Amino acid sequence: MYEATWKEQKLNKNELSKLKEDGLDVFKDLPELVKKPFSAIDPAYYMYFKYAGLTVQKPKKDGNFMMRVKIPGGILTTKQGQHLADIAEIYGKGLLDITTRQSVQYHWIPFRKLPEIFEGLKTYGLTTTGAEGDITRNVIDNPLAGIDPFELFDTRPAVRRVHQRFQNNRDYSNLPRKMKISISSNVYNAGNAEINDLAFVPASKRINGRKILGFNVKVGGGLGALPQLGKPLDVFVTRSQVAELAEAVVTLYRDHGPRRNRAHARLKFLIQDWGLEKFEAELRQKLPKLPTAGKDELLGWNGGTVLGLHEQKQAGFYYLGIGVAAGRLPAADFRRFLQIADNYGAGEVRFDHSQNLIIPGIPKQKLAALKNETILLQYSDQEEYMANYGLACTGSQYCNLAHTRSKEILNELLPKLDQRFTFKRPPRIVVTGCANGCAHRSIADIGIEGVAARNKNKEVIEAFKISLGGTLKTGGHFAQTLRGVVPVGQLEAVVTALLTLYQTHHQGETFAEYVERSGLAVFQKVLDTIIE
């Protein structure tokens, strides 16, 4: 058991509470808690619910929860998927949401039903433990791990080992804040490496005369109000060393990460305080035999988005990536996709990083019959549609922090834009309800962020800031924010004008590349003309 060496420091109130009771004790407390009315629960306890993947849903007094299920690498058996559909139908008003970290979340989960829900998840090898809270979160992977023609090797074993190393491990259940880990050997950065606290990216190195395939390492990435891109360490690890290095990094974060101010408590702030050189030196104290970094094998960035029907690296087999608008999926439709996965695929479904669904393992001889499935007429797999690339957070419908609706606005906006525009490489448009960046606004081509706003009559209105040109290509740079606030009634006109400018003047570049070449001023002029 670790020693809380930081306990004599000046700590925020959450840290003081965690010294008295571990976050994982929520599961021990729940059987007694649910005997009380929810109104009797001290709001100071709400932070512990997060360790069970729970956030008290808006309005808080009603005692309903957003519940997130942890799915390492985003891979589910169809039997597990059927149980997730059951939860949606019984407790979640028939809906489930696919997240940007390959998980599933629900709304309207009732307080009193939590013990039986958790017991059911356990039966199917599923868990909510650590899906939120100051702990290691869901470990993400290349959505096509093991079947990807563009991966160096199968990363699923490494993801499982890292997940198992930390899951229910009380040595690592009291971190300064969350810890997000990405593992991918896809050469197009399918794990969105630079926006994770710790990321393993594909690399090769000659060791003792042999070419070894493994990973280089990036640390300190993260979004939110103060986003940072992950920085490369001069470190190379083999596949078998991944869990060991992850544990060493998490240990440094646990023991030395800042705990005074929760707004400055992520790994990126420890690295800012120490500098990358000191962080690496401390890491090498724990793992002294680590080789220096190998050859970076990254070639580009695909956003971890999987759409369309494509051949797997296993000859004669295909995967199908299906766009799910804003990630919100009716349970009845999910069941139909699960049936397709059983009838045509490998009895498995996956989730990508753009809130879409994947059915792998489809033999060539079944493709013709697959195309007759009517559910596929309701959902698009087209790689040319902006609607299939758009991302949205939960938004003000359920979230206590959001200023604006997100999923609803995205689903109104993108189909209209797809009627006006056709792009070979569609710009990625993201709607997020606040500055926390849950929908990855900072790396969007067009990021739309909800802000607190009032009209000239002092009435509260939905309004947005617009940011442009985010990308993780060649190490990445964040979207730049335009001046001005856009009321929701003008949002469609603004985004249409921005896309028209790109469509008219681009020279084969991506949207982010065009923003970089043309500069922000030309877009600012377009925005000013509309919102005046």
Average pLDDT, the chain: 96
Q: What is the pLDDT of residue 89?
A: 98
Domains 144-296 and 388-531 alike in fold: yes
Q: Are strands 181-183 and 198-207 parallel, antiparallel or unpaired?
A: parallel
Q: What is the CATH number of domain 388-531?
A: 3.30.413.10
C-alpha 197/C-alpha 519 separation (Å) is: 30
List phi, psi (to 5°) of 448: -120, 110
State residue 459's pLDDT score. 87
**Which sequence spans correspond to the domains of the chain?**
13-123, 144-296, 310-382, 388-531
Specify the pLDDT at position 458: 87
Nearest-Å Rg of the Cα atoms of the chain is 23
pLDDT above 90 for 456: no
CATH class (in words) of the domain with range 310-382 = alpha beta
pLDDT at residue 224 above 90? no
Please state which of the four CATH numbers 3.40.190.80, 3.40.50.720, 3.30.413.10, 3.40.50.300 is assigned to the domain occupying 144-296: 3.30.413.10
Model-level pTM greater than 0.95?
A: yes
Report the share of the chain in percent with pLDDT over 90: 95
pLDDT tens column, 152-162:
999 999 999 99
Name the phi and psi angles at 465, rounded to 5.
-95, 150
Residue 40: per-residue pLDDT: 95
pLDDT (tens digit, 9 = 90+) per residue, 59-73? 898 999 999 999 999
Short-list 500, 381, 393, CA closest to 444: 393
Tell me the per-residue pLDDT of 284-341, one tens digit each, with 9 for 90 and over.
999 999 999 999 999 999 999 999 999 999 999 999 999 999 999 999 999 999 999 9
Residue 509 host element (H or E): none
Q: Reply yes or no on whether the pLDDT at 532 is more than 80.
A: no
pLDDT digits (tens, 9 = 90+) for 115-154: 999 999 999 999 999 999 999 999 999 999 999 999 999 9
CATH fold of 13-123: Sulfite Reductase Hemoprotein; domain 2 (3.90.480)
- Portion of the chain with pLDDT greater than 70, in percent: 100
